[in-house]
Amino acid sequence: MIKITVMKIACYKDLIDKYENPILHACDMKLGQVFMLEELKKPNDMCDSAWGTIYPFVRDLFDGKEDFFDGWMKNKKSAMISCNDGFRPVSFYIEVV
């Protein structure tokens, strides 16, 4: 089973004001939100962009891979990955439980 936890949500208002067109809805992630995966399938409440970014690590952990980038994480069966939103990056802790 894979556990995905929202660890940090950033918002770069200066970049948003300077570069982004106004949008009404950007991100629904909540700090501390947890997703438990028993199968390799995008959680219903996760945005497509975030899933696209973290998916390779989730897949590899499901497949038993560990120790990404040769000792990067203290827990070898985990990864800390941020979504690719340059205005509102969300950091996800992904771990095997």
Q: What is the pTM of this model?
A: 0.93
Residues of the chain where predicted confidence (pLDDT) is lower than 50: none
Q: How far apart are CA 88 and CA 12, in angstroms?
A: 6
- CA-only gyration radius of the chain, Å: 14
Q: How many domains does the chain have?
A: 1
Print the domain residue range for 81: 2-96
pLDDT on residue 24 = 79
Supply angle C-alpha 66, 69, 74, rounded to 5: 65
